[in-house]
Structure 1
Amino acid sequence: MKVMHKPLDISTTVHRLPESEDRWASWRDFLRANGEPAMYCDPEIIEAIATGLRQEPFIIEATRGGDVVGLLPAIFMRSSLFGRFLVSVPYVNWGGVICADEAVGRKVLGTAIRLAEELDTNYLELRQLEPLDDDRLVVGKSAKVQMRLPLGAEADENWRGLKSEVRTQIRKAAKHGLQVSWGRDDESIRAFYEVFSRNMRDLGTPVFPLRLFRNIAAAARDNAEFGVVRLDGAPIAACLAIHGPGLTEIPSAAALRAYRKTAANSLMYWNAIERAIERGQTEFDFGRSTLGGATYIFKKKWGATARPVTWQYYLRRGDTQSMRPDNRKFALAIQLWQRLPVAATRVLGPMIVRGIP
């Protein structure tokens, strides 16, 4: 006689972090098994980002037969200026639902939608490396892509694959006597932030708080490091590198405009590529760029190719584009911000950007 087994039910639980630390080991086992899409979903990373932005972190867990089969990290962002949002995950370029199969994905999404409604959000935002196929979601209008470069076993392989103009820029930086250092200590983080915050002011964009980067460094441990390019001891370019499973990404990088002729940016990226190869990584991600924009063209010259990241939304009110920095309603604010002293933007910027999804 054939015995029919009833499919195991999928159950979901909403956890507020840092509660449920007894579940973290099981979550990490599941995340490790899902590789690159899950590299920013560790509960310690989520808590670090949330506390850095002074917002509230959640993880939605799905289990089947006692086993973890799905996770969704999300941060509840609220601001009197901008509204209320549930985002997976702010600051980083991807997060979203990590699931064993479509049925789990639908169950996790349903729980996330209920949470978004309970929190009375404008919308739920999922930054999906692997998009969900669900009619409840709409895709945001975005021309952003991740720029990916395959890595060889040795740095020489990638060096030979570079265009001559890129190699020329790297050599040019060396001739200027630029020095590159890497670290996770507070001095390295402060040097990075000195360059990053000034560059954000020049772009007219509120800067993230210094504590966000300190938190990420503490949570990611040896998988996060800050690269700083110096001229005569002064930092003129800097980046944050995150080393994930087989992939190194640069989520934040900046170079001072006054030193553009030194090609510090090129030296910084080449040095980061070398470090990724030393770690045995197989892919390097230059970070998010606007398709066809200046940074996209710069990264494409290195041989990087575009990989889309799908930002999907469950929209409750408003629209998905109102908070994007390229919205024309912010044009005057951007111009005014560019005129502020850098010191003022380091104080005001974090208070503003903490509420922007």
Structure 2
Amino acid sequence: MSPVPPPPLVTVAHSRAAISGRVADLAAFVRHSAPEVPLSKHPLWLDVLRTGLGHEVYALETTASGRTVGFLPLACVSSMLFGRFLVSLPYLNTNGVVAHSADVQAELVARAATLAEELNVRYLELRHEAPIAHSALNASLTSKVHMRLPLPGCSEQLWKGFSPKVRNQIRKGEKGGFSVQWGGAECLDGFHDVLCANMRDLGSPVYGKELFRAILNTFPNDAEICLLHAGDHPVAAALLLHGWGITEVPTASALKEQNPSNVNMLMYHHLLQRAIERGQRVFDFGRSTVASSTFRFKKQWGAIPHPATWQYSVLQGEVGDMRPDNPRFQQVIRVWQRLPVALTRLVGPLIVRGIP
């Protein structure tokens, strides 16, 4: 008897109207795709990006005999300044193809490359961790790594694992008299005030409140803000996303003038404790360039580098055209750092929504 051939693969590009009807099945598929799955892999991020940034979104789904075997979320980032890009997914550090077999991976990449051509974008960007071999993917960036810390079972073990230097910095922060607030939308104004000031100092346009409001509204039980105050004044803030076994911090800021107080160290200690309280096994500090100051900051907590392979199908120009380390942006960054925070708060969201 000849072997039974595998069922044919069917890949569909669900547009906005059809996505809501597929969220439950896609979420269940993603949830069981790995031992730890970040919240950033949840298909509801497509709704967040549509609501919070105005992106057109697509859910590529591959099925076999009616069962989901692959998923690729995509958002079309478009602006008059920079052009159009198809990304999985903007704002988030990791996403891309979720599939267990090479044939399904190839099917999804091929459909995404075709969609990129149909939408006439400059490039397709897939924010992978492990590379996928496909002829349509003709460029990659591997200069950054994910910094992740395996978490112990309790806060006492966490403290014992810190170096004496880290413990002393946390103690100094504790002596500053800062109050700690956890919450959702009620913390959004203070969170955004700190973020706007910090991003201006870094020379980067800031995301608007609408994005963070959409995140908090979409994930009311799994997204929360940590806000530290000096008196009534917010001085440090972070957004935490609690996934399946892993907590990530995609956005965190502290006011530059508070650097001597070590409030940032105090805040990160609270973030790590919060993840442990939630029963998480891993804390994701986000991506950093190897040997950079942010890399060293994360490494001092015990975080371990993990690969980040952002893959591209470049149709127009080059990948480096839109990277912040491109020399042509250095003068713009210096000018931005001298602008009033009130102006960058107003203009920044209009610019950053068009940056992949």
**TM category, shorter:** over 0.9
Aligned residue in 1 for 2:337:
338
Could you say which residue in structure 2 is the equivalent of 1:295? Answer: 294
Corresponding residue number in structure 2 for 1:229 = 228
Alpha-carbon contact 1:18-1:47 (below 8 Å) kept: no
Matched, 1:320 2:319: yes
Contact 2:205 2:352 in 1 (8 A): yes
Distance 1:349 1:87 in 2: 20
Deviation at 1:67, TM superposition (A): 0.3
What SS does the corresponding residue of 1:221 show, helix, strand or coil?
coil
Q: Deviations over 1:123-143 (max 9, x none)?
A: 100001232122321343342
Letter in 1 for 2:180: V
Give me the whole-angstrom Cα distance separating, in 2, the residues matched to 1:38 and 1:97: 14
The corresponding residue for 1:187 is 186
Q: Does 1:174 align with 2:209?
A: no
Equivalences, count: 355
**SS class of match (2:6):** coil
Q: Is the 8 A contact 1:150 1:283 kept in 2?
A: yes
CA contact (8 A) 2:142 2:308 kept: no
Deviations 1:112-158 (A, max 9, x none): 11100000011100001232122321343342211111111011111
Take 2:107 and 2:38, find their aligned partners in 1: how far apart are those partners? 18
Partner of 2:285: 286
Deviation at 1:20, TM superposition (A): 3.8
The residue that corresponds to 1:40 in the other structure is 40
Q: Measure, in 2, the Cα distance between the counterparts of 1:180 and 1:155.
A: 17
Distance 1:19 1:49 in 2: 16
Distance 2:213 2:343 in 1: 20
Give the C-alpha shift of residue 24 in structure 1.
Answer: 1.9
Name segments (4+ residues, structure 1) moved above 4 Å: none
How far the C-alpha of 1:43 sits from its partner, in A, is: 2.7
Q: How does 1:1-357 map to 2 (within 5 A)?
A: 2-35=1-34, 36=36, 39-184=39-184, 186-357=185-356
Structure 1 residue 332, shift from structure 2 partner? 1.0
Q: Deviations over 1:305-357 (max 9, x none)?
A: 11121100011110111111111101111111111111111111011111100
Q: Could you tell me which runs of 5 or more consecutive residues in structure 2 were left unpaired when the two chains were aligned.
A: none
- 1:18 deviates by 4.3
Q: Is the 8 A contact 1:37 1:94 kept in 2?
A: no
One-letter identity of the residue aligned with 2:194: V
Distance change in 2, residues 1:153/1:137 (3 Å): same
Check 1:105–1:155 CA distance in 2 against 1; reply closer, same or farther (3 A cut). Answer: same
- Provide the TM-score with structure 1 as the length reference: 0.96
Which is worse superposed, 136-145 or 152-161? Answer: 136-145
Query: In structure 2, do the counterparts of structure 1 residues 302 and 255 end up closer, same or farther at CA, with 3 Å as the change threshold?
Result: same
> What root-mean-square deviation, in Å, do the aligned CA atoms of Structure 1 and Structure 2 show?
1.3
Q: 1:198 and 1:137, CA in 2 relative to 1: closer, same or farther beyond 3 A? A: same
Deviations 1:58-117 (A, max 9, x none): 100100011000010000111111011000000000110101311001011111111000
* Unmatched runs of 5 consecutive residues or more in structure 1: none
Identity %: 43
CA distance in 2, matches of 1:286, 1:172: 22
